Amino acid sequence: MRQIKISEINLPGKTNYIKFNMYSVFLGNESRNYFSNRKDAKQFLANTNRFLNIKLHEFNHVYTGVLSEYQRNWFYFDSQNGHANKQLSKSETTITDNFHSITKAMMTIVTRSSNPNGNYFTFTSFFHCIRYCNEIIEILILLLKDRKHYIEIKSLEILKGHLNTIHQELNAYGKEKAPVEITSDMEFID
């Protein structure tokens, strides 16, 4: 089964800076994570791979929804009066190019994730997929607004919301601080 397998851990350096004497994992969302031992760094990578594979499945689900919406509205990409419409033709070309680019980027995500720069390429390719998918949705929304098909627009807006959630979660991954566990011996100040 196709899956993401990032594996790049930077080894500690020989400097006076504590941060550079630690194992580190840099991700394509600009997060930098430092670990005192290799075991913790490997555990972080394993968790990251699980997270990324879940997000890839979520994106694929949204992507198939966008593809379905395009196919359902495919008939509208012809002029209403029999004359060629350059804008509709350009929009359809953009959509088909974006679908092709998404497929290519998804293959990059799974085939290059284990390469030395896989930590970076995986995230950037993910962000490209989301951007291309959002662009397709925007074009479809404009087309449906012209035809006053507001119910279909809501379906597209829901898909766009899912894409935005995936983007935010990918962008935040590894950047947030670990939550503080509340124990019974902690004092609270009112």
Q: How far apart are CA 5 and CA 45, in angstroms?
A: 9
**What is the percentage of the chain residues whose pLDDT exceeds 90?**
74
For residue 33, the cross-strand partners are 25
The answer to whether residue 42 is domain-embedded is: no
Q: In the Cβ-directed half-sphere of 169, how many Cα atoms lie within 13 Å?
A: 16
The answer to whether residue 21 is domain-embedded is: no
Q: How far apart are CA 150 and CA 156, in angstroms?
A: 10
Residue 147: give the domain boundaries: 50-172
pLDDT at 141: 96
The answer to whether residue 81 is domain-embedded is: yes
> Measuring CA to CA, which residue among 88, 128, 100, 135 is closest to residue 112?
128
pLDDT at 96: 97
**What is the percentage of the chain residues whose pLDDT exceeds 70?**
86
The answer to whether residue 28 is domain-embedded is: no
Taking 50 as the pLDDT cut, the residues of the chain under it are: 178-190
Q: In the Cβ-directed half-sphere of 172, how many Cα atoms lie within 13 Å?
A: 9
The answer to whether residue 104 is domain-embedded is: yes
pTM of the model: 0.85
The answer to whether residue 19 is domain-embedded is: no
- Report the CATH number at residue 110: 1.20.140.10
pLDDT at 45: 96
The answer to whether residue 184 is domain-embedded is: no
Total of domains in the chain: 1
Q: In the Cβ-directed half-sphere of 99, how many Cα atoms lie within 13 Å?
A: 16
The answer to whether residue 4 is domain-embedded is: no
